[in-house]
Chain A
Amino acid sequence: MDIILSAEDVKRIDACLNKVLNKSAAVSAFLIDRSGQLVANCGSPSTLDVSAFSALTAANFGATSEIAKLLGEQEFNLLFHKGQNENVYFSVVGENMIMVIVFDDRTTLGLVRLSINMIMDELLQILSPIYQNKG
């Protein structure tokens, strides 16, 4: 599904991602839609292969949804990768988006989740009208 974001929307979304990074001391934040397209990012290295990353994130979420179905549960609301140097936390934003936060030892999963919860309403307020206009 194609969506149209105004410059103002992008600015507000970037501000939300920045808030998450500032409050949690995480390394980078991304907003990706379910079809695998990057919507916004903050703090990411310029060398990152954005299209591969976005597609893999969406596929990753697809796989967890399958496990949830096998367990007879709704979609999982928690997906967390623990890496040797850095960790990745994935959070569902509404029905159409996934937020990805990369963080290291300087912060904790708990603080990352708390920071996301703090901006979640604001982010949904920005995104909901965009998808409603599409529908």
Chain B
Amino acid sequence: MVKPSKRVLIVDDEETLTWSMSKSLSKDRDKYSIFIANTGKEALEVLRNHAIDLVITDIRMPDINGLDLLTTVKRKYPGTKVIIMTAYGSADIRKEANKRGSLYYVEKPFEIADIRKLILDILWKRKGFEGKVFDLQLTDVIQLNCLCRVTAALKVDRGDQKGLIYFSDGEIVHAECNGEVGKRALFNILRWREGKFDHERGMTAPQHTISQNWEHLLVEGMRQSDESYVPPGRVPEPRSPSGLAVVGAEKISVESPGQTAREEAPMERTVQSIARVTGCEGTMIVSETGDVIAHTAIENASKEAAVVASLGLLSHRLSKILDTGELESILLGRQKRKVILRDRPYYFEVRLKEGVRFDEITPSIRKALRHFTGKNDTREGHDEERGASDR
């Protein structure tokens, strides 16, 4: 019989348990070899002499604590996976085990069939390629994890700082960084521009602190990252006494010092993302005072912006007089139509291609806008419901 290439080490001071476990697990002896140790020292000895793939260890042992054994294994044999088992489990111990790099945490008593399945999952269910990648963005790695629906911990190392992002079935469920947890930690990690990463496949999160959809989290993370990023050596844009800063060919209205860098990137990105909506021909963001904030494919943008702001103001007053509730959008046109969406303090003008229906396209535009405003727009359904036909 061919000797199996994988090796599993069971560590527990209860000899009856290690014996019964090895007996039960021997059903899979064609898949992996089993080693037993009844003390921590014995376990280290086995690890020294054999290339162990997986260690299943108890916590309470007379000589070396299971958690300390875990730390040693992770330091000396980083490729070796560790499962912690204990009869005295608590949330704190679980958290500590995860923190030290335990892949799974199992509470006694357990079904041996579950352990068998777990071992096979860890040792044999790896499919695909392994290797090193370079020059990837952290967001690429995260997206890959999410799209592949993995359960893992992504360790990110920037040198001076370290972060952890946990995935469960492809969703980001927890993050830790500099003593912070949850979204704050995640967004902090996403701000880093370079570093190293490592995957702990199958590692479960010690707690769930994040519940948002991963796509939303990444977009928000990138937005925050862009806003906080100042390229090395870049001098802030000069500002005129009137409070207008020139960026590219367009003016950006500055409401308070330091706001230019915050506004520029999301505005440009929003315009681009609206322009990508099928059926849109051009788009423009206009301030309440009639200044062009950003635009694509709009001729006479500054003149049109002034009229859009006037129209917006008149329409707003009209809605007050008629008591129709807050003005949401204005649709106007003849053959070619345009929609002006109101999202204080801006107007978003979108030119529609000929024949495109207002009620069909508005939800997509609002979706693109949501990334900018960060609001969960509940008006989408409204537009769809109401729009029997606008022609």
Contacts and interface: CB of A to CB of B under 8 A. Distances in A.
A10 interface: no
Contacts of B331: 78-80, 82
B203 interface: no
A70 B307 CA distance: 10
Interface stretch (A1-9, A15-23, A57-65, A119-127): A57-65
Contacts of A63: 307, 310-311, 314
Chain A binding surface, main DSSP class: mixed
A68 B335 CA distance: 11
A118 interface: no
A80 B341 CA distance: 12
B126 interface: no
Interface string A37-64: 0000000010011001100110110011
B349 to A, nearest CB: 9
B7 to A, nearest CB: 66
B23 interface: no
Interface string B310-343: 1100110111011111111111111111100000
Contact of A110 (B304, B329, B391): B391
Contacts of B328: 82-84
Interface string A78-90: 1111111111100
Given A73-B336, A109-B386, A88 B324 contact: yes
A56 B388 contact: no
A131 interface: no
Contacts of A67: 304, 307-308, 311, 332, 338
A66 B307 CA distance: 7
A78 B324 contact: no
B325 A49 contact: no
Nearest to A69: B307
B303 A70 contact: yes
A56 to B, nearest CB: 5
B299 to A, nearest CB: 8
A110 B325 CA distance: 21
Contacts of A96: none
A110 B311 contact: no
B356 to A, nearest CB: 13
Contact of A84 (B326, B332, B335, B383): B326
A95 interface: no
B31 to A, nearest CB: 63
Interface in B364-391: 383, 385-391
Interface residues of B, number: 40
B318 A64 contact: no
A109 B390 contact: yes
Contacts of B383: 82
Contacts of B332: 64, 67, 76, 78-80
Nearest to B390: A109
A81 B334 contact: no
Interface in A9-33: none
Given A60-B315, A83-B326, A108-B387, A68 B334 contact: yes
Nearest to B306: A66
Given A67-B304, A67-B308, A109 B330 contact: no
Contact of B318 (A70, A78, A88): A88
B300 interface: yes
A50 to B, nearest CB: 9
Between A67, A75, A102, the greatest number of chain B beta carbons within 10 A of the residue's beta carbon is seen for A67
B389 A110 contact: yes
A73 B335 contact: yes
B321 A71 contact: no
A133 interface: no
Q: Nearest 10 A-B pairs (CB), nearest first?
A: A84-B325, A110-B389, A83-B324, A85-B325, A108-B388, A86-B324, A63-B311, A110-B388, A80-B331, A84-B326
21 contacts: A48-B322, A49-B321, A52-B321, A53-B322, A57-B318, A60-B314, A67-B304, A75-B334, A78-B332, A80-B358, A82-B327, A82-B383, A83-B322, A83-B324, A86-B324, A88-B318, A102-B322, A105-B385, A108-B386, A108-B388, A109-B387
Interface of B: 300, 303-304, 307-308, 310-311, 314-315, 317-319, 321-338, 358-359, 383, 385-391
